[in-house]
Structure formats: structure tokens, C-alpha cells
Amino acid sequence: MKSQILFSILIIFLLVNAPNSFSELELFTNSKVYSTEHNLQIYGKGLPEENLILRLFAPDATIAKFDQITTNSDGSFNYNLLTWPEPTTNFPYGTYLVEVISTEQDGISKKIDVKFTSTTDLIDVPVERHVSTLVFAPETAAVNQSFRVFVQTTSDGLLIGNDPTELLKNTHVHLPSGLSVSLSDSFKTLHQGLYFVDFISRAEGTHVFHVVSFSQGTTSHGSAATNVLSQDLGGISNQIIKLNTILDATSSELETLKSEISGFDTTLEYASNQIDESIGTISTSVKFISEASSQLNALMLPIIASIGIIVALQITILARRK
């Protein structure tokens, strides 16, 4: 009984998965490189009379064309998906992705990259996807203060990406200690292809932000470094401004002191002139005194001589009386 039950379950399992065992889906294009007015013809094979979803992705991963077809009775299909227009912002030159999705084979799909350009020369225009990643980070920052890092992702010059957790899931930052910290869940979307993360560093030193972009099977790398200091340039600038204020005040005081010293020099010069004048006056007075002394001597000599004569006469008279 148990064997019959197990056998029945096995038969049911095989029947359910039988379509997948024989599932097939093929996709081809009539060319790899296209220019204006060329037809994008796709063909291939799926299950008989199967509904297929056709999508054409632009270089920025947006859907440029969407369509749905049904395969022939033998499973084949051949369909003109697009006639390439003149290049515009909606249809720029670049690498496009053609995708066909099965609606009956568990959603399996096939993809082909094609190139839309001004020339159809395959030798000069290789069919490849170029993803570019640019990282913008400040040169300096301060410990324990938030700073913002921006990331731009492009493909063939167009901004790409929607969910940063998928597009930038391998992004990380290398710390000065040598450790690395993942930033995959930290990014926020500013615009399609433009993302940012606010980061706070707890240690001084160089922090290297390594951004890894993954889009449609293509990986791109970008990096930028920030030197984290004990304080940011704003704090240093404030200190410089304060120092300049102190220097200005000191300069004003020096100018005042210089002015006072200049006045003191004038006072000393005036005093020196006054002293010179006083010395001249004293010299003149001494000269006058010397002249007066000479005149006095000239007057005193006759008087002294007269007194001497009188004294001599008195002595003579007294001598005769005796």
C-alpha cells in the first residue's frame, strides 16, 4: 500500500514538472550594431503557441519598448521589435538590452546586448556595456561629526539604478585601523543614479570609501578618501578668525603706542631745545657777569689806591706829632 502511494506521488511530481523538463527558449537578433532607421528584428524558439513578453531596456535600465507575442505552432517566432529612430533623450546612443520572457516556463528569460550608434561597423563599435561609478567625498572632516558622501552611477553616459541596496550592495569603507565596514544598507536615493550616505567617523585618519556598482551583469568600481581630523576646517577657521581679531587689537594698541612715542619724541625735542636756550641764556649771563666784574674791578682800584694814600698820610701826621 505504501509503495503504491509513493509511486502515485512520484507520477504526479513527474507530470507537474514535465513541461520544465522539456522547456526551451532561444533568442537571436538580426544584428549586434544598429543605426537610425535600421530594424531590430528578433527571432528564436519557445514552446508551441506560447505567450512571450518582449522588452527593450535603454542604457539607463529603463524600458524603452514593451511588447507581447505568441509563438507559432512549432514554437518559432520572428518579430520586428523596433525601427531605430533618430537619437533623442528617450533613445540615446548606447548599449541596449533585448529580453524575451516565457510566461509558461516558470518565467525563464533570454537576454542579448545590442548597440545603437551612428555607425554599424562592428569592428569599430564593440558591443559592450560601460558602467561608470563616481564617488564624491570631502577632503577633510571632523571626528564624531557627520559628513556626506555622494555616488553617481552611469552607463553610456546615462544615470542608472533604482534600488541602492542592490546596485551598491558590495560598497564599504576602509577605516584607519585596517577594518572595513559595509555601507550596503546605508545609501539613500537622491535621484536615479545619484545616491548619498551620511557617515560619522569615530577615529582620526584616512577613510577610503570603496563603491562597487553592479548593473545588468557589469561591475564598476569607484573610490574616494577623506582625512578625518580632530576638528573640521570650520573650527580651524573660527580659531583663525579669533586670532586675526586678537592680532588686529594688538596692532591697534601698537599704533597707539607708536603715536604716544612719537609725541614723547616731540616733547623730548622741545625740552632739548629749551635746555639749549637756557644754556645759551646762562652763558650770556656769565658773560655779562664777567664784564660787570671787570668794570667793578676798574672802579675799585682807584678807591683802594685813595684809601691807601689816606692811610699813609694819617700815619705820617701821627708820626710828626710824636
In a domain, 268, yes or no: no
DSSP per position, 234-293: HHHHHHHHHHHHHHHHHHHHHHHHHHHHHHHHHHHHHHHHHHHHHHHHHHHHHHHHHHHH
What per-residue confidence (pLDDT) applies to 273? Answer: 78
Angle ∠(108,163,107) on CA atoms, nearest 5 = 10
Which of 90, 116, 142 terminates a domain? The answer is 116
In a domain, 215, yes or no: yes
In a domain, 63, yes or no: yes
In this structure, what DSSP letter does residue 18 have?
H
In a domain, 286, yes or no: no
Tell me the three cell numbers of residue 321. 706829632
Q: What is the three-class DSSP state of 208?
A: strand
Whether 112 and 135 map to the same domain: the answer is: no
Which of 213, 231, 249 terminates a domain? The answer is 231
Task: List the CATH number of the domain containing 179.
Answer: 2.60.40.10
Whether 156 and 85 map to the same domain: the answer is: no
Q: What is the pLDDT along the chain (322 residues), one digit of tens a residue?
A: 555 555 555 555 544 444 444 568 899 999 888 988 899 999 999 999 999 999 999 888 888 899 999 999 998 999 999 999 998 877 888 889 999 999 888 889 999 999 888 876 654 555 567 788 999 999 999 999 999 999 999 887 788 887 898 889 899 999 999 899 999 889 999 988 899 999 999 889 999 999 999 887 788 899 999 999 987 656 666 667 777 788 877 877 887 777 767 666 677 677 777 777 777 777 777 777 777 777 767 767 777 777 888 887 878 887 777 6
Which of 86, 116, 146 terminates a domain? The answer is 116
Whether 14 and 54 map to the same domain: the answer is: yes
What per-residue confidence (pLDDT) applies to 27? Answer: 92
Output helix, strand, coil percentages for the chain, rounded to the nearest 5. Answer: 35, 35, 30
In a domain, 150, yes or no: yes
152: domain range?
Answer: 131-231
Task: List the CATH number of the domain containing 62.
Answer: 2.60.40.1930
In a domain, 311, yes or no: no
Whether 137 and 112 map to the same domain: the answer is: no
Contact (CB, 8 A) for 135 and 151: yes
Whether 160 and 102 map to the same domain: the answer is: no
In a domain, 182, yes or no: yes
Give the global pTM: 0.52
37: amino acid identity, one letter:
E
List own/partner pairs for 7-14 with CB under 8 A and 24 or more apart: none
In angstroms, the CA 188 to CA 160 distance is 14
284: amino acid identity, one letter:
T
- Which one, of 175, 170, 181, lies nearest residue 220 by Cα? 170
Contact (CB, 8 A) for 52 and 101: yes
Whether 100 and 141 map to the same domain: the answer is: no
Q: Which helix (H) or strand (E) holds 137?
A: none
Whether 191 and 102 map to the same domain: the answer is: no
Whether 62 and 94 map to the same domain: the answer is: yes
| Number of domains the chain is built from | 2
In a domain, 250, yes or no: no
Tell me the three cell numbers of residue 198. 551620511
